[in-house]
Amino acid sequence: MQELFNIFLVLCMAAMVTCRSVDFSLVLQGQTNVMNYGAAGNGATDDSKAFMRAWSDICAGKSDPTLVIPGGRTFLLRPVQLLGPCKPCKIYVEAWGRIVAPSRMSDYGSSHLDCWIRFWRVNGLTVRGNGQIDGQVVGGQALGFSFCNNLQIYGLNVINSPSKHVKLFRCNGAILSNLNIKAPKESPNTDGIVIGESSQIQVHDDNIGTGDDCVAILKGSSNINISRVACGPGHGISIGSLGMNGAYDTVEEIHVQDCSFTGTQNGIRIKTWQGGSGYARKISFQSITLNAAENPIIIDQYYCPQLHCPNKTSAVKVSDISYTGVQGTSMTKTAINLRCSQSMACTNIELNRINITSVGQKFITSSFCLNAHGRASRSIPNMRCLMK
Ligand SMILES: *[C@@H]1O[C@H](CO)[C@@H](O)[C@H](O)[C@H]1NC(C)=O
Ligand SMILES: *[C@@H]1O[C@H](CO)[C@@H](O)[C@H](O)[C@H]1NC(C)=O
Ligand SMILES: *[C@@H]1O[C@H](CO)[C@@H](O)[C@H](O)[C@H]1NC(C)=O
């Protein structure tokens, strides 16, 4: 009797939680395939309504929470917003087919141009498969995930976004792995992965080559591990820019390990504007390989892409930054460039086992420091410019 009562109690409690774990062997129709919702999958018919209908059934807990986008087909999607919160605790999107954006701006619609496929307030989402998401170089950023907790994105090929390829905004807990992200080297603002105001994020085993940052970590982000990511072409891994228009911005606990940079404009970069405040701290770069990178190691507290920024008296504080085991080749002479604020010096900058030589050993690389304090050991170029 007591046992029955316990079971009853557990069932009641399970019914009280907001999202539901459903026993899907009980769902008769099986996975939620977009083809069963009227998708044509011929690359010409607009399939966005079919996707939205399938999504709304899944989100409402009316069908199996696995959205299947079958392989061997091409789905044309106008901008779609897949909104939560949803009933199921876990939702899966299996993307095996090709998903393409409209190739003409006129087909794109004008409603939400900033993002093509956006997931909003969806918790426990896993997007996986070897499908290709093709932005067709029109419209806005390709894949957006906003306010998502416990997100996983695995294996996708995301190409030709006219803007950012994958963006997380206000996500807590995410793993982005085995992604292939590609856009032409000459395409502006086509960041690979962008992480803003998010924490507890793992980015690993990805291959990213675009016209802008490989991975960009924006303000309000913390506890981010990036490992085994191959970058290039593009602008490398960037933290910032922080402190734009006098903003108070913070970033901390960012760890980059076992990453490579091939033909990138920068390697590992921290950039802040003059006049901001806040901090970028507890950041480590370990086991980094450079192949003909232009600015391998750079801290730029004078970030100013438009070239008309007056110097200000406040700055984002940069501290506790370590570089360990960074080796390879630089295209430029100044392989290590630490340009710290004159009002707020960089402190506790540590460099160990650095060996950055010039491509083809054509010239001797050098380092530059401005208001940078810390320690270095076994570094080529030497770091005598660093203040104790
Ligand atoms: C990042 O790596 C550190 C050190 O290995 C670990 O303690 C931490 O939990 C990791 N964070 C995430 C979000 O995976
Ligand atoms: C700001 O200060 C930096 C470092 O001293 C200097 O290189 C730069 O020319 C200054 N910029 C302006 C606009 O004065
Ligand atoms: C630094 O790298 C160059 C080029 O790969 C290599 O020839 C040299 O032996 C390395 N130096 C050290 C101290 O490891």
Longest CA–CA span in the chain (Å) reads: 84
Residue with tokens 């395939």: 33
Mean pLDDT of the 291-318 span: 95
Residue with tokens 């976004």: 161
Say which ligand is closest to the CA of 369. Answer: 2
Determine which residue's CA is closest to atom 9 belonging to ligand 2: 311
CA 339 to ligand 2 center in whole angstroms:
10
Q: What is the pLDDT of residue 103?
A: 85
Mean pLDDT of the 341-357 span: 97
Task: Using alpha carbons, list the distances in angstroms from residue 310 to 274, 305, 313.
Answer: 8, 13, 10
Q: Which atom of ligand 3 is nearest to the CA of 378?
A: 13
CA 327 to ligand 3 center in whole angstroms:
8
With contact defined as beta carbons under 8 Å apart, do 141 and 107 qualify?
A: no
* Ligand 3 probe mutation, 326, 330, 351, 355, most atoms within 8 A of CB: 355
pLDDT band at 299 (very low <50, low <70, confident <90, very high): very high
Residue 55 in any domain: the answer is no
* Ligand 2 probe mutation, 311, 340, 343, 371, most atoms within 8 A of CB: 311
Q: What is the pLDDT of residue 101?
A: 95
Ligand 3 site, CB within 6 A: 355, 357, 380
pLDDT band at 16 (very low <50, low <70, confident <90, very high): very low
Distance CA 93, CA 81 (A): 14
pLDDT band at 140 (very low <50, low <70, confident <90, very high): confident
DSSP-derived secondary structure for 312-368: -S-B-EEEEEEEEEEEEEESSSEEEEEE--SSS-EEEEEEEEEEEEEGGG-S--EEE
Residue 34 in any domain: the answer is no
CA 356 to ligand 3 center in whole angstroms:
8
Distance CA 377, CA 31 (A): 57
Residue 33 has pLDDT above 60, yes or no: yes
Determine which residue's CA is closest to atom 14 belonging to ligand 3: 355
Residue 53 in any domain: the answer is no
CA 242 to ligand 2 center in whole angstroms:
18
Say which ligand is closest to the CA of 365. Answer: 3
Residue 32 in any domain: the answer is no
Distance CA 302, CA 274 (A): 6
With contact defined as beta carbons under 8 Å apart, do 239 and 256 qualify?
A: no
pTM above 0.85, yes or no: yes
Give the N- to C-terminal CA distance of the chain in Å, as an integer.
73
308 flagged as catalytic: no
Percent of the chain whose predicted confidence (pLDDT) is above 70? 91
Round the average pLDDT of the chain to a whole number and report it. 92
Ligand 2 site, CB within 6 A: 302, 310-311, 342
CA 16 to ligand 2 center in whole angstroms:
60
Mean pLDDT of the 193-203 span: 98
pLDDT (tens digit, 9 = 90+) per residue, 269-285? 999 999 999 999 999 99
Mean pLDDT of the 330-359 span: 97
Determine which residue's CA is closest to atom 2 belonging to ligand 1: 225
CA 258 to ligand 1 center in whole angstroms:
14
* Ligand 1 probe mutation, 255, 259, 282, most atoms within 8 A of CB: 255
Q: What is the pLDDT of residue 306?
A: 86
Residue 4 has pLDDT above 70, yes or no: no
Q: What is the pLDDT of residue 388?
A: 87
Determine which residue's CA is closest to atom 5 belonging to ligand 2: 342
The finding on whether 185 has its CB within 6 A of some atom of ligand 1 is no
Neighbours of 374 (CB within 10 A): 22
**Residues contacting 307, CB < 8 A, separation 6+:** none
Q: What is the pLDDT of residue 6?
A: 53
CA 278 to ligand 1 center in whole angstroms:
23
Residue 41 in any domain: the answer is no
Residue 197 has pLDDT above 90, yes or no: yes
CATH number, domain containing residue 214: 2.160.20.10
pLDDT (tens digit, 9 = 90+) per residue, 158-190? 999 999 999 999 999 999 999 999 999 999 999
CA 311 to ligand 2 center in whole angstroms:
6
Q: What is the three-class DSSP state of 76?
A: strand
* Ligand 3 probe mutation, 357, 361, 363, 382, most atoms within 8 A of CB: 357
Determine which residue's CA is closest to atom 3 belonging to ligand 3: 357
Residue 33 in any domain: the answer is no
The finding on whether 200 has its CB within 6 A of some atom of ligand 1 is yes
Residue 329 in any domain: the answer is yes
Residue 185 in any domain: the answer is yes
The active-site residue out of 112, 165, 204, 235 is 235
pLDDT band at 132 (very low <50, low <70, confident <90, very high): very high
Q: Please state the domain count of the chain.
A: 1
Residue 27 has pLDDT above 90, yes or no: no
Distance CA 318, CA 183 (A): 32
Percent of the chain whose predicted confidence (pLDDT) is above 90? 86
pLDDT band at 13 (very low <50, low <70, confident <90, very high): very low
The finding on whether 255 has its CB within 6 A of some atom of ligand 1 is yes
Q: What is the pLDDT of residue 110?
A: 62
Q: Domain range for residue 355?
A: 66-380
